[in-house]
Every structure is written in structure tokens, then in C-alpha cells.
Chains A and B, each alone.
Chain A
């Protein structure tokens, strides 16, 4: 759980004038990818890698993304549920970022190193219910992403991805991109490639908007808090949390938050 801003303000206020960043060190950052290299999750992760490397070039950090899963800083995974759990258990302390599976049971299992960038079925159902409440009779489907999304520099990401791959960015591609970007963001901030340090930082200190305009963070159950898009006949009709039903920044109105609440 992140500290409220006021507490952070007081803590940082005390630390004023000694807040300079350490000089960045040259780092090699190996990331593993488990999944089908023909999947959109893979092309999204590759897009994230290219963008992470732009930052890496300024800081002396070199990112790689390969099928090797040992001695890596994090694993990006687009595999079926049983394989995903096995992967997390086989690599304790290494962040395993699920970018394709939406099953609620994967969240309620609460494996300490399994993080879910893709939204769960429960989150999507809550988003759709909110939309129904605000727009009765309107049957929208909730998704993580859409290639027509433009706000919050989403159009720039959609353009970059389409230019690189010739494809429209879908949910798994967005999640693959976001997974690499949020890991690289943490590597840059923490100046480490150590998997367990990164896991702890990802769970506690993420500051990332995923081109969705809000401060995203991981719940205790490993799920990434995030706004969702509501789609009807392949057109974006709204965003969740749905204005008028709840506060648009109330990301915890979508899906369970804690392990204990999950079922």
C-alpha cells in the first residue's frame, strides 16, 4: 500500500536538499519471455523493450528480452494458468508478470512473485456493471486497451506500435509493453538488476501510468490497478471507473483488492 501524499510530503520535506539521484551505473538488464513469439504479448513486450532502451541509452543500461528464464531480472509471461503458476513457483523472488491470462483464481492464489498486468475477469465484470448502471440497456465490453484510444498519450503509443508491427495494439500487446516499461522504470529508479529488490519495489513503489492517465500500482493480490475501456461494436464508448457511478479515480471499484477478499 502506498503512503498517502501528505505523509510522503512530510517525509520528503525532512529530506530536502539531499534528494539528488545517484550517478547512474552501467547495467545489463536481462529479461525473460515465456510464451509464443507469434503472440501480440510478445510484440508488445518487444515494443516496450525498444522504448526502455531509449531511456537505457541515456543512463547506460542495456536491456535484452529472450526466452531464457534463468538469471533474469524479471519474466514476462504469456502462458496458460497452470504453466504460469509453475513458472512463478520455479523462480521464487523473481517478478513474473502475467500479460495474457485474466482468470480470477490466479489472483486469489496470491503467489508473492506473480504480478498481473492484464486486468482480471472480475475487474472487467465490475467495469461492465458500472457501465450498465450508468447506461441501462447498453451492453459494453470492458478491455484493457483499444487501438483507437487517444488520451494520455495513448495515440502516440498506438502509432509507435502500429508503425513497428503493422498491427493494432490489443490487450495482451498493451500488457506486454506495460510489463517491460514498468520493470525498466524500476531498474532506472532503483539502479539495480536484482530480481528480488525489483519485486519489492514493483509491489511498493510503482509510479507508472501506462498511457492511461492515472497512477497505477499493484494490489496485495498482485493485480495492477488500472482504468479500463468500455467497447461497443469495436468503438470506445467510455472508461471505467464510470463517472457518475463512482469517482473516476476509484480504481479499487474494479475487482477485489486484498488476498483475503478474493475468492
Chain B
């Protein structure tokens, strides 16, 4: 019994270790690991050519990296920070989302398809036909839906899981880049880079229920994330070099937070108090206090940071 308690305490203290932020450096061909307490890079892990999308396994033990130039997914052990294994995953993987069951839903930019892989075995589970140049992938928290954006076909493809059937093909503004779901899975959000718009989709009907252009011609929005309480949306403004904070209900901009040059990636920590951004051309990560809506630290990382995720 004492041993069990000791083990539980040990497990608890291990789980309470400082969260870490993992960042892909698209042109550096590596992954930077940041200690979220000290905001310092603690490790740089070479992964291969042109790493972009990044995500965490549901148990937090593994970090997956889409290495576009090598057509593979690299699996990093989040405790040892070493590459555990890698597997092939079709041509030009750009981004992916991790399903609650552990499978990866990957956009293959060269082909008009999304592919589903089991990252434990490296086996292909399913392929789903989508539009040209699929890019952003999101999975609803309950795992019943995925959204894949196709950049050159200007669509959001709403896919039912586990059937892997496309239930809606939603035409949106030019070059849709990223998507995310609300916590209850009823609403999805998406950005269109060239039309500079944010859209809100009702998942049940597969219809756009609101859209809003960002009031800045330079804004080429990429990542979009709801705050943990669901009341706000964070949008990476790309060339606007700002993060836009939108009211979730109206899509009206509440605040603009200046960050580095070419801000593309966004990730929140577990309690939602910190938002991390990849500022591509600045080679840095900005750390934003989401209560004060201001940058509290900038962390130099590798060359052209792109994807970002937090391991708690």
C-alpha cells in the first residue's frame, strides 16, 4: 500500500513537471523544446527535411512531427526528448490532428487526400478524398468529426468518424489554411489566408453561420484557436505580425497583440493562461499572457518556426 502511494506520488510529481513547448523549425530541419517555466530552449532535436505539423499523443508520452520533405512522421519520446521511431505516411505530409483514439489524420499536400495512420504500428488506416492541396486538419474533442481544409479548392471538408465519410464540402474564402473546433464540438472555426477572413461553421448543418474579414489588408491569417473558456478566438495574423483576439460570438476584434514577423502557429497551455506563437521570419516563439493580452516573453528558436504544441 505504501509502495502504491509512493508510486502515485511519483507519478503525480512527474506529471507536474514543467510543461514543455515543442516547435518545428521548417527551414532548420529540427524541433526546439522550450521549458515553459523558464521560457528557455532546453533541447534541439534534428528530425529531417522541412518539419511542419506537430501534435501530441492523448497520453502526452509522444510528440509527432510531420516531416514534409521526407514523407514521414517522426515520433519523439516526450520524456527523453529523443527520436523514438519514424514511419512513412504518404507524399508531402503538411499537418495533422491527433484523434482521441491516438490515430493521426494527416493532410498530404501533394495529393488531394487525407490519410489516417496508426502511429504505434505505422499502418495506414484509411484514405479520404478531399480537394487540392489539403492543409489544415482539426478533430472534434469527442472524435466524431474531422475538418480538412483544401487550399486550392477553397473548401472545408467535414468528415464523419469512424465512417470516414465526407458529410459536407463547404466553400470558403480563398486559400483556407487552418481549422479548429469549439470544446463542445458543435462549432468549427477556420481562416482563409488570401481573402483574410475568419469563418464560423455549425457542425450539425455543415453551414457557415458567420464570417468576418480581418480589418487589415496585410493580415494573412493562419492558425485559429478558441480560448479555453470558449469566449474568445485567437487568430495568427501572418504578415500582419499580430495575434488577433476575436469575440467568439460576434467575430469582432477585441484586441490586437503585436508579435514577431510572420506569425503562423498557435498553441495554448493546459489552463489556457498562456498562448504560444511561432513567428516564422523572426525565428522566435512569443509567449502571450491571455489575461493581460500581452507578450510576456520571446524565445529565440530555430530557422522559420512553423508548428507548435504544448506537452503538459
Point out residues on A near B: beta carbons under 8 Å.
Answer: 4-6, 8-9, 12-13, 16-17, 19-21, 24, 51, 54-55, 58-59, 153, 156-157, 159, 185, 188-189, 207-209, 211, 214-215, 249
Contact = CB atoms under 8 A, between A and B. Distances in A.
Contacts, number: 94
B127 interface: no
B212 A153 contact: no
Interface string B204-237: 0001111111111111000000000000000000
A209 B194 contact: yes
30 contacts: A4-B217, A5-B216, A5-B217, A5-B219, A9-B214, A16-B210, A16-B250, A17-B209, A17-B210, A19-B208, A19-B210, A20-B208, A21-B170, A21-B207, A51-B132, A51-B152, A54-B112, A54-B131, A55-B154, A59-B169, A156-B109, A156-B110, A156-B152, A185-B174, A189-B171, A207-B173, A208-B194, A209-B174, A215-B174, A215-B195
Nearest to B249: A16
A-B pairs with lowest CB-CB distance, top 8: A58-B169, A207-B174, A20-B207, A209-B194, A55-B153, A207-B195, A6-B215, A9-B215
What bracket does the count of chain B residues touching chain A fall in?
Answer: 35 or more
Contacts of B155: 55, 58
A55 B133 CA distance: 12
A13 B110 contact: no
Contacts of A17: 209-210
Most B C-beta atoms less than 10 A away, residue of A12, A54, A249:
A54
The binding surface of chain B is classed by DSSP as: loop
Given A13-B250, A16-B251, A58-B131, 17 more contacts: A4-B217, A5-B196, A5-B215, A9-B215, A12-B211, A17-B209, A19-B209, A55-B131, A58-B153, A59-B171, A153-B109, A185-B154, A188-B154, A207-B195, A209-B193, A209-B194, A215-B196
Contacts of A188: 154, 171
Nearest to B250: A16
Contacts of B175: 209
A54 B153 contact: yes
B132 A54 contact: yes
A249 B209 contact: no
A2 B112 CA distance: 31
B133 A9 contact: no
